[in-house]
């Protein structure tokens, strides 16, 4: 492996740990828990792992078994900065408990468990990846562990390798699958524990026990640097509007955090659009009016932040997409043999309800075609493939043309579209994520040693210094509710959306009118790895606002 000077320097960084994890650990159990919703349904589906208590770790005498065990690790879903440090934390924690413990990494994600494709992790392997971005130590994948045949094959492979526990490092869907797997193995008394770790740069795996998912901090800092660079260019050239789509299909946490870091002229928050029942035309009017106000001040430039999943939050579009998802799921074979986009549109229109068909027919053909693209593994529209930023540019341009004819606009509008996604997923983790991920992994090792299953690793109190962080475990069933997937109701971890009554959103609302007409850009610059703690170790502005 060829290493950059930064990577060489980062090898010497020792992630900080909560005080409770530095010596022997005592587990303190809380009260019995229940799911966030649909309690009767979730309890019926998870009789062996429902209602377990929240666990907090404190300094004290450990009751954990120190017998040698085998542990399998799985990276699941999209990459997020810090995954390698989760693995490093698990590895170091297990080796400290017993140097004879063996740690295996299943290659290419959950599919590696089923296919028995693995590598044993050793000092030589792990040490190369400490404090680095990416998931390339063992790779990731999007295979879903949903069928009993997969569970049984995975169990067979674990038994052959002497694996007593699995750690699934992933987002809400991956941890839902981990919970289903934990329940299945517990029901069969299979002797294999399953622990989850909260990963997703989108920030939507979040609740009272999971203050943030790992990777969110780093990704937002990367995106904010890029946004700041673009804003500085815009403020220099003074002739372009930049429409920037940001990752975040199901929630606008990235857009909100980046707005708080960079102070753009326009920030669209999907959850607000839905709450206000805004139409696509109303969003366009909102942006166009700000463009006109800035033009009146002589500022024919600006930045607009757009969440990736915006179209799914516009009520009329949400209803259309919901019907499309069901329609395409039930008529997949018929749609797949249709050759032209026009024929597909005609087929779809005839199957949709009258109200929704009217919305579909009103869309530009290119946009309608994008809504009919193949669905993701969950049966949902692939919003990252929908060029929302280009659609809004075209619609704002058309709106401004009408305003100019009516004498309401006298500026110039030239726009550039951007989509920031992959740029942030494998960045070298910030100090915060390096510390947080290592702590999550170390916590998982203790949950394993204590014989726990069906838990997610939890580290809280994240705006304090790392030694004051609170480590423990939260039952995955506590986070679950029932949702419609592929036309059927299934148990899943409830996604955390931007709260419109929350402090971070209120901070945006308090300042966005000022940012809209005045140029008050902030240029965050690159992630700082070396220097004073107040520069290098800061958490996100979202966490800071939420802790006030």
Please list the active-site residues.
202
Q: Whose CA is closest to 500, among 487, 512, 489, 509?
A: 509
Close Cβ partners of 397 (under 8 Å, ≥ 6 residues apart): 413, 415
Beta bridge partners of 443: none
- State the angle between helix axes of 354-362 and 315-330 in degrees (0 to 180), rounded to the nearest 10: 110
Beta bridge partners of 491: 482
**SS3 per-residue string spanning 128-182:** CCCCCCCCCCCCCECCCCCCHHHHHHHHHHHHHHCCCEEEEEECHHHHHHHHHHH
Q: Whose CA is closest to 103, among 125, 83, 80?
A: 125
Burial of 517 (0-12, 13-18, 19+ CB in 10 A): middle
The Cα–Cα gap between 333 and 323 comes to 17
The Cα–Cα gap between 529 and 526 comes to 9
Sequence-ordered alpha helix ranges (H) in 331-430: 332-336, 341-351, 354-362, 365-371, 388-405, 422-425
> How many CB atoms within 10 Å of residue 20?
23
Please give the span between the terminal C-alpha atoms of the chain, in angstroms, as a whole number: 44
Q: Whose CA is closest to 47, among 256, 188, 153, 174?
A: 188
The Cα–Cα gap between 328 and 2 comes to 46
Greatest alpha-carbon pair distance for the chain in Å reads 80
- Evaluated on CA atoms 48, 53, 57, 58, the torsion sign reads negative
H/E element holding 55?
strand 53-59
Find out whether 433 and 81 touch, Cβ atoms under 8 Å. Answer: yes
Close Cβ partners of 191 (under 8 Å, ≥ 6 residues apart): 164, 185
Find out whether 177 and 110 touch, Cβ atoms under 8 Å. Answer: yes
- Evaluated on CA atoms 308, 309, 314, 317, the torsion sign reads positive
């Amino acid at each position: 492996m060829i290493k950059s000077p930064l990577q060489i320097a980062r090898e010497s960084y020792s992630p900080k740990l909560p005080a409770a994890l530095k010596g022997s650990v005592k587990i303190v159990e809380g009260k019995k828990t229940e799911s966030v919703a649909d309690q009767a349904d979730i309890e019926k589906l998870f009789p062996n792992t429902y209602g377990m208590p929240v666990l907090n770790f404190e300094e004290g005498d450990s009751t954990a078994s120190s017998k040698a065990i085998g542990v399998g690790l799985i990276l699941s879903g999209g990459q997020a900065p810090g995954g390698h440090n989760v693995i490093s934390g698990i590895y170091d924690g297990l080796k400290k408990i017993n140097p004879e413990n063996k740690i295996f990494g299943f290659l290419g994600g959950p599919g590696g468990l089923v296919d028995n494709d693995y590598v044993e992790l050793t000092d030589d392997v792990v040490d190369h990846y400490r404090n680095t971005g990416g998931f390339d130590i063992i790779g990731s994948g999007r295979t879903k562990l949903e069928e009993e045949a997969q569970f049984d094959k995975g169990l067979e492979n674990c038994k052959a390798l002497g694996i007593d526990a699995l750690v699934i490092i992933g987002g809400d869907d991956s941890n839902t699958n981990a919970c289903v797997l934990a329940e299945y193995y517990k029901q069969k008394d299979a002797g294999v524990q399953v622990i989850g770790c909260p990963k997703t740069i989108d920030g939507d795996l979040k609740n009272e026990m999971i203050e943030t998912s790992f990777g969110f901090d780093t990704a937002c800092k990367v995106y904010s640097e890029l946004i700041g660079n673009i804003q500085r260019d815009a403020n220099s050239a003074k002739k372009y509007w930049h429409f920037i789509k940001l990752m975040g299909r199901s929630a606008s946490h990235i857009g909100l955090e980046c707005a708080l870091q960079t102070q753009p002229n326009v920030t669209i928050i999907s959850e607000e659009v839905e709450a206000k029942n805004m139409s696509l035309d109303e969003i366009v009017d909102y942006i166009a009016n700000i463009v006109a106000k800035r033009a009146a001040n002589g500022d024919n430039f600006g930045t607009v932040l757009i969440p990736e999943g915006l179209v799914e939050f516009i009520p009329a579009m949400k209803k259309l997409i919901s019907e499309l998802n069901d329609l395409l799921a039930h008529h997949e074979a018929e749609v797949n043999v249709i050759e032209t986009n026009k024929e597909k549109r005609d087929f779809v229109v005839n199957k949709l309800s009258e109200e929704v068909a009217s919305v579909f027919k009103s869309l530009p053909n290119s946009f309608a075609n994008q809504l009919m693209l193949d669905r993701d593994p969950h049966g949902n529209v692939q919003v990252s493939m929908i060029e929302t930023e280009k659609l809004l540019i075209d619609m704002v341009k058309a709106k401004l043309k009408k305003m100019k004819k009516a004498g309401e606009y006298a500026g110039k509008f030239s726009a550039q579209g951007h989509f920031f996604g992959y740029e942030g997923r494998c960045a070298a983790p910030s100090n915060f994520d390096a510390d947080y991920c290592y702590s999550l992994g170390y916590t998982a090792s203790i949950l394993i040693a204590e014989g726990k299953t069906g838990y997610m690793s939890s580290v809280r109190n994240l705006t304090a210094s790392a030694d004051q962080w609170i480590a423990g475990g939260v039952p995955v069933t506590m986070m679950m509710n029932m949702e419609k997937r592929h036309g059927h109701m299934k148990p899943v971890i409830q996604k955390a959306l931007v709260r419109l009554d929350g402090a971070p959103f209120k901070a945006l609302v308090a300042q966005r009118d000022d940012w809209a007409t005045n140029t008050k850009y902030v240029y965050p610059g690159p992630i700082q790895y070396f220097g004073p703690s107040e520069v290098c170790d800061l958490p996100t502005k979202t966490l800071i606002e939420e802790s006030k």
